[in-house]
Amino acid sequence: MVAKSKAYFDRRVAGEMATHLHCPPWSVRQKLALTCQMLATEGHESGLAGQISARAEQPGSFWTLRFGMGFDEATEDALIRVDDDLITLEGEGMPNPATRFHLWVYRVRPDVNCIVHTHPPYISALSMVGEKLAVAHMDATPFHDDCAYLADWPGVPIADDEGQIISEALGKKRAILLAHHGQLVACASVEEAAVLAVMIERMAKIQVMARALGPIQPIKPELAKGAHDFLLQPSIVGATFFYFARRVLRKMPECVNNGLPE
């Protein structure tokens, strides 16, 4: 038997996944509510710290969880729509004031449609010792050359200065580790932001555990690049989001009004 090339299998698997892997047609609000619940389950809850936002259908406005609610309390109806000065346009309540720095990212990154910022424990541990996220495991490869680092904490991000600093440090990347602070992912879709937010904390946890055994051994860059591109295909991201969503809906089906579509 003649061995086929890696490119052949890449094309074949991509076609099969596009045919067989599908995510239900949830609305942006529903996907945000599901993401909040996913993050709560994964240990991202830190009181009222952290925010989630996404571009709304109406230009210049954004959906976000109203301030005062934790991720584990999020429902579709708890999302409010705000303008580009954080004034509430739809729904009741106010946004988290720190969501202001999201606006800076949206202004300079038209490719970004969803932002998740949290203070999960293992990412926070790395942020406290000034250690960047290592790409030393296959599951970390989506962050290969795609995770920035901000070494200096600019303070609570409720004003414009912090937004400018963080957006500039993020650059064109999907993720950033913020020293003395937490993590942020800025992605093209809610599904991608949710999956990367879950995975960045899982990878930080493994990194902290591995440190107890010895020095971290990074993956070869060319292999990390190939895995990055493969694992970030929309079909894989969407299927992963759907899996996480099913876990949420088994425990809290009321977080979205229509539950799990048939």
In sequence order, the β-bridge partners of residue 88 are 82
Percentage of residues in the chain with pLDDT exceeding 90? 81
What does the block give as tokens for 54?
A: 């996404």
What does the block give as tokens for 60?
A: 């210049």
Averages of pLDDT over runs of 10 residues in the chain (262 residues) are 68 70 86 97 86 96 96 96 97 94 96 97 96 97 98 80 92 97 97 98 98 95 97 96 96 83 48
Q: Where are the domains of the chain?
A: 27-252
Measured at the CA of 12, the angle between CA 146 and CA 188, to 5 degrees, comes to 30
CATH level 3 topology of 27-252: L-fuculose-1-phosphate Aldolase (3.40.225)
What does the block give as tokens for 186?
A: 């800025």
pLDDT in tens, 185-226: 999 999 999 999 999 999 999 999 999 999 999 999 999 999
pTM for the whole thing? 0.92
Q: Are 147 and 136 in contact (CB under 8 A)?
A: no
As to burial, measured by CB atoms within 10 angstroms (0-12 exposed, 13-18 middle, 19+ buried), residue 9 is exposed
Write the DSSP string, 172-192: T-SEEEETTTEEEEEESSHHH
